[in-house]
Copies of this chain bind each other. A is one copy, B any other.
């Protein structure tokens, strides 16, 4: 299992319609084959500057790679992520044996 997480901050004002539209569009990522346990999250720690997070799990690296290369993901990164995200950090976890 690989848990892919990304914490991020948007260019949009907090609570704006643009913010809501971005987060709503993110739901589509859950439908890409291989994506399990998709979550949209608020980031609430004052110890970093991110406001939101996405978390999803993949069975293995092959499923993760297929997600990265999937046309829906590629289009999402191009059309929503790059234009609307101000800063982000990807953190990926596997269980410690």
A interface residues (Cβ-Cβ under 8 A, vs B): 2-5, 7, 23, 39-45, 47-48, 50, 52-53, 55, 89-96
Decide: A43 and B95 in contact? CB cutoff 8 A. Answer: no
Decide: B95 and A39 in contact? CB cutoff 8 A. Answer: yes
Decide: A55 and B93 in contact? CB cutoff 8 A. Answer: yes
Decide: B96 and A23 in contact? CB cutoff 8 A. Answer: yes
Apart from A7-B91, A43-B91, A47-B89, 12 more pairs, CB < 8 Å: A4-B45, A5-B5, A41-B93, A42-B93, A42-B96, A43-B93, A44-B92, A48-B89, A48-B90, A53-B93, A89-B89, A91-B91
Decide: B42 and A91 in contact? CB cutoff 8 A. Answer: no
